[in-house]
Structures are given as C-alpha cells and as structure tokens.
Structure 1
Amino acid sequence: MSTEDRKLQILVVGAGLGGLSAAISCAIAGHSVHVVESAKELVEIGAGLQITPNASRLLKHWKLPDSFWETGAEPTALTVHRYSGQKLAEDRPFDQHTRSKYGAPFVDFHRCDLQQALYSRSVELGVTFSFGQRVESIDFSGPSALTDTGATFSGDLIVAADGLWSRCRESFLGGKDEPLPTGDLAYRIVLTTDQIKDPKLRAWVENPEVHFWIGPGAHVVGYSLRAGKMYNIVLLVPDDLPAGVARQTGSVDQMRKLFDGWDPILNEFLGCVDKVDKWKLMHRSEMAHWVNDDSNLVFLGDSCHPMLPYLAQGANSSMEDGAVLGSLLGHLKRKSDLPGVLRLYESLRKSRGEAIARETFKQRHDFHLPDGEEQRKRDEIFLSQLGKELKGPFPSRWTCPEVQPWIYGYDAIKEVEDAVARNPELFSNNAISSSPRPVL
C-alpha cells in the first residue's frame, strides 16, 4: 500500500494552542495539513499559562527548541493562602516533586511564547497557513470551509479548533449556539520587573513560585513568567459585565477595592497595576458527539469542552486532544478506516475533557466559599495536613493526591499506543473498510 493511500488532506480551523498541536501531531503522522486562522497574524497577546506535566511531556515529544524552554519559569513551591494571607497548604519543592512523580515539569509560560514556538514547529514540519480568514460555515459534502472573504478551503477532514465562539460548532449543530456565562469574570494582569520597585516583590517574581489566595466569592493566582522577569496575576471575581460583553477595559480602582482587606503582599502587587482588562468566563453545554455523521469533521479544545481556568487545563487538555488525534491518524492504514479512527478519538477524549471541565466548577466551589461553617471545615482539612503527606480528597485539586495524578499523570502518546494495541482489526493492513466499533 502506498503512502498516498492513507495520506489525508487535513484542514485545521484555528491557530490557537489546540489547533497548532493538532497541526504538529497530524504533520508528524505524515498527513498534509493546512491551518485557517481568523487573525491577520499571530501577535503578542494574552497572558500567562500554567503548563502541567500532561502537556509539557507533549512539548518535549514535539521537540520544541531549548530557546522556548528558556522563556519559562518552573515554580519551586505551590502555596494556598487564605485571603488574609494565612498559609493553608504548601508543596515545596514543588518542581522536584512534580518531575519525580510525573517525569515531566510544571512550567509557567507567556501564552504568546508557546503559540509562537508551536507555530514555528508547525512550519518546520511543512504545515501551511492562511491568515485573515474567518471560517463562517462548513459544507459537509466536501468537506469545505467558507470564510468571510469568500474563500473556500477543502480537505478530507476538517479539525474544528476555533475555540469558544466556534462557527464550526454552529454549522455542526445547525444553528446559533452562544456560550453561556458562568457568573465569574477574570481580571488578567502581567507586570514586568520594571514596574515593580519594591525589592521584596521583585524577589517574589525572580524566584518563581505559584501562590493562590482564596476568599469569599473570589480567588487570585500569581506566578512568574519569562525566567522570573514578569509576574502574571489573575483575579477571579463575580461577573459584573453587561450581557453580551465578553471583554472590557477594567477600572484599576474598582479592581483594588474588591480586594480591600486581603493579604497585604497581594495588595502591594495590585498597587503596581496601571491598567487592566476584564474577561467574562464562559462555558458550553456538553455535545452529544465530537464527530459528524460523515466522519469528515472532528472537534477539539474549547469548541467542544471549554473550561473554567481554575485548574489551568483549558490549554493543556486542548494540546492533549491534538496529540491524541494526530497520533491516532498516524496509525491510519487507509482513508476508508477514518470513521473508526475518529470514533476511537472521541471515545478516548470526550469523557476526560468533559470530566475535567466539571472538576473546574468543583474547584471554584471550594476556593470561593463564603466565611462560615463550610469554609471553617475546609480550612481544618487544609491546616490538619500542612507540612504532612496529603490524603484525599483535598480542597486544592492542584496538589490533591486523588485529582492531581489523574490530570498530570495522563500520557496522550501512551494512551494512543494502548488503544491501537486494543484495536488490531482497526489498524491492521487487513482492516475492513466498515471500521469496527473501537475497543476502549
């Protein structure tokens, strides 16, 4: 059988982290990949990202260069504080514990550094791009994607990686499908060391750690970026944006007032802020399927399982999706087996992605408890295990001995290898074209 008998023309809609991961993974698998992106170019926007071991091992697998890794900050501690500043939980040395348990690091990056590294790797692998092309609809008979410029892009398979406001999803469902508000919004802040004059605060930035402050109806996370030269702060608070408004310039004074009485060191950081944006946090209902009936459209990332940022898994799980999809397609023997391979992808990824999304709401509950009896019981669990080996369930899933291994220990490449071994009839040279139901 020739290579061309199994080589797909793959069209990826969206050059976000999930789309670029799928592009890389599918290109490594030997397929021809073209990415259509609405932005005119990939520019330096966004803020920090916490890349956990389930995704950092993929970045190693995809051979991102040393220059990219040098832009990261690997935290040596992860600490949870009560909003007053009282320490409730701490894992130190967090970097060593994480590498020892999972064989891969927990590293904080600026989003644009990761996006640019993935883009460069995609180009190295022969992936081509069309920028300034917003996909408006999908024709499933091709399949083909029609953009706002009137251009049409076709392929054997369309990968819907167009995020929370996915037009691919609307075409698939046959109508408008607006994201739903969660009741929370995020103030996102990035400070450079030039903006931070206090030596004590600069030391926090230059010696990377992750700090959470949890309080009534809100919580904050702060961590270093770019080898300790920047500090990322995310403030998660009740949503006060008007209906229909997803992003707005925020009032620095209003933001600071929300945190009156919180930890003085947090307020010292907020005192360095001169501008801020606020982002409505949205979610979506779960989809019945991630693959269409014609098996020529497949979903990944925020287009099918958007997440609250409370476990930092939106980007990480999107990269998992891209890795699993491309790796499975690397085992494709003939194009006629594509329906079975896509069903296997859906069966491997859908339950995990949706379960993590649900877990983020549980973390919000535990981090946003109002002062009272439930909050006191939560803090008793925290304090009773401070400095000890943790036992689950634990209120912070970031170090919970039940939840952390489930998230961080996931190996997308091994998941595919195991699934291929369980489904020899689907991946053998003698596989039947009707594509048998995959074995999980």
Structure 2
Amino acid sequence: MKKGISVAIVGGGIGGLAAALSLLRAGVDAHVYEQARTLGEVGAGIQISPNASRILHRLGLAEQLTATGVKPVALHQRRWDDGRTLLRAPLGELVEKTFGAPYYHLHRADLLDALASALPSQNLHLGHRLTTLVDHGDSTEATFENGTRIVSDAVVGADGIHSVVRRLAFGPEHPNFTGCAAYRGLVPAERLAHLNLETTAQIWMGPGKHFVHYFVRGRRLVNFVAVVEQDTWTRESWTDRGDVSDALAAFEGWHPQLSEILRASDETFIWALFDRKPMARWSVGRVTLLGDACHAMLPFMGQGAVQSIEDGANLAACLAGISSAQVDESLNRYERLRLPRASHLQSLSEENKRRFHLPDGPAQSERDEVMASGTTDWSLQAIAWLYAHDAELLSAPGE
C-alpha cells in the first residue's frame, strides 16, 4: 500500500487538532506543531452544530462529547427588557433526527481535551514556535525557534487570528476591530438554581448590546457572553480581566435574569471582537490555511470553531490518496470548496451584529415580525443549508 503524503499543521487549537485527526483517518501522515508548551483553552463555552458534530463523531469522539457536553432543546431569542420570546428554534432530538447529528454546548477545554486524547502522542509536538517557512516546489521546509527543521509535502496554518503561517505566506495584514467587546464568564449552576433556567441557548437582543447564556459541562456550569458596542480597542486577547461591576452597569435596565447571572460570577474576562475581511485565496503552492487564520468571524452565528472543523474534514478529503505531485492542485480544490461557504458565514455573522443590536423602533419591530414568521437564520427550515452540510463530500459547482 502506498504511503500517504505528509502534512505539517501549525497550531494546536481545536481546528488544528481536528484537522490532524481527519487527515490521519484519511491516510495522511499529519503532525501538529504548537508553540505553547502545554495545550490549553480559555474558560469559555462553545456551540457545536450538526455540521461539525457529525465530523467529530466520525473521529470517534461521541462518547466524550456526550459525557461532557449538553444537548440544548432549543435556541431561544428574547427581547432585552421584558424577556418576550422573539424566536424559539427547536434543537435537541428534532435537530438530531433531521440532520443525523446532535447539537452540543461544550466547554472549550473539554472539546480540546477530547481531540488531544484521540491524537497519537507522537503526532503532537509542543514548544514549537514557527520562524521560517520555505516552499521548495516539491516539498515544504519549516523551521522552529527551538532549532527543529521539518520537511513535509504541505503546511497548514491553523494558528489563529494572529497566524504566522498567513503572514509568511501572504504578507502582513491587520485585523479589524468590529466595535464590539464581550464580557464572558462561567457560573456554577447551583448558584442560579432559583432561576429555573431551561436547557437552551438564550440570546437576549437589545439596543447596542446582546447577552447569551447556556449550560456547559454536563449542566454544572452556565456560560455567559455579554456583548457591548464601544468605539475603540487596542488589544486582541481572550484573557484580559474584566470587572463584573462594569458588565452590570452596561446591562442596567435589562431583564433581571441577566443581572442575576452576572452577580453570581466570581470573575469575568473582557474580549474584544476582531475579524478580517474574506480573503481572495487561502492557498499558495504547498501552503494553505484553515480556521481563524483565513476566515476569522464574529461569533454571532456560533460557527467560528465549527467552520474550522469543517475545514479540516474537507482538507482531508481533498488530500486522501493523492501523490506529492498533486498537492498544489488538491489545496486549490480545498480552497474552491471551502472559501465561498466560510466567506458567506463571515458576512452573515457581521449582519447579525446589526440585527442583534437594533435600537427600539421601526427597524426593530420589522425584525421581530420577520423572526416570528419563522424564516430567519436559526429557524429549522432556514438553517438546513448549514446543518445538513457534510464537509467530507467533495462537491461544488463544476466539481
């Protein structure tokens, strides 16, 4: 049997690890190179819709996800002041039956642990910070700060919004501050037992702000994200400490349930939301990108990590069974299949920023009427294009 090609993945986050598992499953010799000396994720929740959970189940992670995750029964969009329901879209058993895979709420660290535990230890290399990258035409050569030099058939940049691979392959560029910052935190569920919270993803929409909360880690924790608009920001970080009192002040006058959640939090972090405009291309020669390295998006569709998981599955399908001489062509095919979909989701996420934050008035009333009609992005009939997608299938116009 012919040995598969070799791929070096730079970045050991959710996208990089999922890509490595998909590539190994496809017979590709994939290795992950992560700059940190230990794998870690921020304490925050993540939503995994069926278009990604079907991939994770194929990778053998169903048992771990079921043990640590939560399957919400609905997505509940509500008005900021009185809590009135604007749209309640079913999830749970109906989504799983309709699309053949479940919808999960997870702690990001639990998902990362599940991915890392499935990856053979010899395929994960920690403490490797990329410094140079050379495409020799018939191979790639990557050098790391610790002196390691590796030669492979292809390099994949899964190294996030500050991607070194992107900079080395495409040149420098700067992210765009979206005018939003998010307070995020985790609250022990027993502190909020008196609220009788449903097992749903609740999105509260109001003038210039929105608030999201849902259970993670087997309903033991409540994850919240409180998004506010502001004019400027100087840092991109998930780990800047925020002040609970500032978050409470920002949501003063909103439904009391939200202040109850904030007051029950021991700490909060503030996270500026940055994005990048869709790229014209992701691949050059034997180098390509995935996840936030090429399509960083606002979290208002819950698809950032999900799309990186799709990227990895599609990349593996494109590279399965090929020879080294076919790498350039296969990476271009991956780009043709993935770039339009990811770019569309970037645009939808940007549009949701406007929709979520409308001031009370005619535009808000019109939005609410449309939501009540069941034709918006998260209603079941409108979301099929997203949830039913199977990234392992190599099909697109002209394919």
What amino acid is the match of 2:181?
A: L
Q: How far apart, CA to CA, are the structure 1 residues paired with 2:302 and 2:26?
A: 28
Select the residue among 301, 312, 324 that pairs with 1:335: 324
- Distance, in Å, in 1 between the alignment partners of 2:214 and 2:102 is 15
Contact between 1:12 and 1:34, CA under 8 Å: does it hold in 2? Answer: yes
Distance in structure 1 (CA, Å) of the matches to 2:66 and 2:317: 23
CA positional deviation for 1:245: 5.1
Partner of 1:77: 74
Contact in 1 for aligned 2:187/2:266 (Cα 8 Å): no
Q: Offset at 1:127?
A: 5.4
Which residue of the other structure, out of 82, 87, 90, is the alignment partner of 2:85?
87
Matched, 1:133 2:128: yes
How many Å apart are 1:154 and its aligned residue?
A: 2.4
1:10 pairs with 2:7: yes
Q: Which amino acid aligns with 1:200?
A: H
User: Percent same amino acid among aligned pairs?
Assistant: 34
| Structure 1 residue 65 displacement after superposition | 4.9
Give the counterpart letter for 2:30 in structure 1.
V
Match of 1:158 in 2: 155
Runs of 4+ in 1 over 4 A off after TM superposition: none
1:57-72 correspondence runs (5 A)? 57-72=54-69
The CA distance in 1 between the partners of 2:226 and 2:189, in whole Å, is 19
Aligned to 2:44: 47
Q: CA deviation at 1:136?
A: 2.8
- The answer (yes or no) to whether the contact 1:80–1:87 under 8 Å persists in 2 is yes
The SS at the match of 2:336 is helix
Aligned counterpart in structure 1 of residue 389 of structure 2, from 410, 434, 437: 410
Is 1:399 the counterpart of 2:397? The answer is no
1:335-414 correspondence to structure 2 within 5 Å: 335-383=324-372, 385=373, 390=374, 392=375, 394=376, 397-399=377-379, 401-402=381-382, 404-413=383-392
Q: Which residue of 2 aligns with 1:308?
A: 298
Secondary structure of the corresponding residue to residue 27 of structure 2: coil
Deviation of residue 210 (structure 1)?
A: 1.2
| TM-score, normalised via structure 2 length | 0.94
1:251 equivalent to 2:246? Answer no
Partner secondary structure for residue 112 of structure 2: helix
Deviation at 1:341, TM superposition (A): 1.5
CA distance in 1, matches of 2:248, 2:146: 43
Aligned to 2:215: 224
- Hey, what does 2:268 align to over in structure 1? 276
Given that residues 256 and 270 in structure 1 are in contact (C-alpha distance below 8 angstroms), is that contact kept between their aligned partners in structure 2? yes
Instruction: Tell me the amino acid that sits aligned with residue 254 of structure 2.
Output: W
Deviation digits for residues 369-423 of structure 1 (CA, Å, limit 9, x no counterpart): 012211121123334x3xxxx2x3x2xx222633x1111111112x22x47xx9x
Compute the RMSD of aligned alpha carbons: 1.9
Asked if 2 retains the 8 angstrom alpha-carbon contact of 1:83 and 1:214, the reply is yes
Are 2:177 and 2:233, in contact at CA under 8 Å, matched by a contact in 1?
Answer: no
**Alpha-carbon distance in 2 for matches of 1:253, 1:24:** 42
Alpha-carbon distance in 2 for matches of 1:189, 1:10 = 36
The aligned runs of 1:139-154 (5 Å cut-off) are 139-141=134-136, 142-154=139-151
Counterpart of 1:265, as a letter, is Q
- How many residues of Structure 1 are paired with residues of Structure 2 in the alignment? 395
Aligned counterparts of 1:127 and 1:17: Cα–Cα separation in 2 = 18
Mean CA deviation greater in 94-103 or 362-371:
94-103
For residues 169 and 128 of structure 2, the distance between their equivalents in structure 1, rounded to whole angstroms, comes to: 19
151, 171, 181: which one aligns with 1:185: 181
The equivalences for 1:314-333 within 5 A come to 314-332=304-322
| 1:155-212 Cα distance to aligned partner (Å, 9 max, x none) | 11101101100011111123x2222211111111111235x1x5323x32xx521111
Find the structure with the greater CA-based Rg.
1
Contact residue 325 and residue 345 of structure 1 kept, 8 A? yes
Match of 1:200 among 183, 186, 194: 194
Q: Which amino acid aligns with 2:22?
A: S
Code of the residue aligned with 1:145 in structure 2: it is A
Alpha-carbon contact 2:283-2:289 (below 8 Å) kept: yes
Report the CA distance shift for 1:106/1:314 in structure 2 as closer, same or farther (over 3 A).
same
Q: Which amino acid aligns with 2:182?
A: A
- Which is further off, 60-69 or 250-259? 60-69
Unaligned runs of 5+ in 2: none
Q: By how many angstroms is 1:215 displaced?
A: 0.4
Instruction: Note if contact 1:162-1:302 (Cα within 8 Å) is conserved in structure 2.
Output: yes
TM-score by length of 1: 0.85
